Amino acid sequence: MSSRINPTLSQRKRLLEKNSNVCCVCKERGLGLQLHHIDSDNSNTVDENLAVLCARDHDQHHRPKAYNSTYCSELSPLQILEYKNSWESFVSEAKKPNPKIIAMINAYGTEEQVHSMRLILQWEDGKVEFERIYHLLDGAYEDWIDNLIEEINWLGKGITIVSPKELQEIEYCPNCKKAYSSVLDNNMAKKITSKDWEKKSLASIYINPISPSVALILSYEDEVLYSGNLHKCGDALHYISDNFEERFKIPKRAVRTQATRIVNNIIDDWNPAYVFIGTGNPDSPELIDDLYLPKIWENKRKFIKSKK
């Protein structure tokens, strides 16, 4: 058996910096840290085989049966390696001037009383790296904001912060019984983290001249990020997109106004640099200046009664 080789002081310092001085598993700040040999070979003391773990997670790896499943699942060597690689990549990305990561802040409660907040640090593709929960039992609401901002700046000054306008509802996973994490759609995340969105984004709107329907596509650098279709369906407007579907009741004599408002709201959410509107032949549409829907949207479907 090979003799143990301890990490050098410079190696320990380097690894702690690559992990932002926290455990790569729990990311809790202020805990004592240890360097763990992932493959259990104490002589294989290279950076790629050393994971920064807190004393609790290090012990949990070596004594998995001493911890119940509500705290953490078993930390196998492969899982620890995945935590290490993902966290070190995240820390490295966070320090870039325009990192491809997002800080998502969700608030829960009522307008009169917000009882908790959740900070989610996610990758652009929607993968959650870690999260923090702030609750009234942990401190005053006024302190949460300071803690949130400090937590984000601890990782990087250029991280984009996103917060939904509406308060969120708490939904629970039927299996683990924990609340779901509300992350930002990966395509919207690309829009938010794109430094030149205001120059290279494009919305294409096609108005069908012979049926009450509108199609729209939003793209960035020739990559389609979003597509949707709005059409009249009986007494409702039916909107279908990549991951969303909704029906809107049509007010009397206002179908075109409501349809136009729905499309404009989507454009406002994405705020593309250029908007092109076309109609006529779908293969070579005629460009028009305004989102004007034809009167066919107001036509009612006629039914012919059969004779008995």
Domain boundary residue, one of 142, 163, 190: 190
Give the pLDDT of residue 187. 85
Decide if 306 is inside a domain.
Answer: no
Over residues 156-212, the pLDDT tens digits come to 999 999 888 788 777 776 766 677 667 777 888 888 888 889 999 999 999 999 999
> Region 124-136: what's the mean pLDDT?
90
One domain, residues 162 and 175? yes
Decide if 182 is inside a domain.
Answer: yes
Decide if 3 is inside a domain.
Answer: no
| Mean pLDDT score of the chain | 87
Decide if 127 is inside a domain.
Answer: yes
One domain, residues 165 and 240? no
Q: How deeply is 267 buried, as exposed, middle or buried, from its count of CB atoms within 10 A (0-12, 13-18, 19+)?
A: middle
Give the pLDDT of residue 201. 94
One domain, residues 86 and 19? yes
One domain, residues 290 and 207? yes
Give the pLDDT of residue 66. 56
Domain boundary residue, one of 190, 217, 233: 190
* Confidence grade of residue 71 (pLDDT, cut at 50, 70, 90): very low
One domain, residues 176 and 202? no
Instruction: Give 288's contacts (C-beta < 8 A, 6+ positions apart).
Output: 207, 277, 278, 279
One domain, residues 185 and 215? no
Q: What's the alpha-carbon Rg for the chain, to the nearest Å?
A: 26
Domain boundary residue, one of 173, 190, 207: 190
One domain, residues 113 and 143? yes
One domain, residues 164 and 247? no
Decide if 113 is inside a domain.
Answer: yes
Over residues 44-67, the pLDDT tens digits come to 999 999 999 998 888 877 665 555
- The residue ranking higher by pLDDT, 299 or 220, is 220
One domain, residues 135 and 77? no
Decide if 227 is inside a domain.
Answer: yes
Instruction: For residue 207, give both structure tokens.
Output: 């108005």
Over residues 215-229, the pLDDT tens digits come to 999 999 889 999 999
| Among candidate residues 165, 177, 161, 197, the one with its CA nearest the CA of residue 273 | 197
The count of other CB atoms within 10 Å of the CB of residue 197 is 17
Q: Are 129 and 58 in contact (CB under 8 A)?
A: no
> Region 272-300: what's the mean pLDDT?
91
CATH number for the domain that contains residue 130:
3.30.420
Strands 160-162 and 128-135: unpaired
What's the rounded Cα separation, in Å, for the pair 55 and 137? Answer: 26
How many domains is the chain partitioned into structurally? 3
One domain, residues 202 and 291? yes
Decide if 72 is inside a domain.
Answer: yes
pTM, two decimals, is: 0.74
Give the pLDDT of residue 176. 63
Alpha-carbon dihedral of residues 257, 259, 265, 267, nearest 10 degrees? -110
- HSE-up (13 A, CA, CB side) for residue 279: 15
pLDDT of 291 > 50? The answer is yes
Instruction: Give 143's contacts (C-beta < 8 A, 6+ positions apart).
Output: none
Q: Residue 44 sits in which domain range?
A: 9-94
One domain, residues 285 and 229? yes
Decide if 287 is inside a domain.
Answer: yes
One domain, residues 50 and 123? no
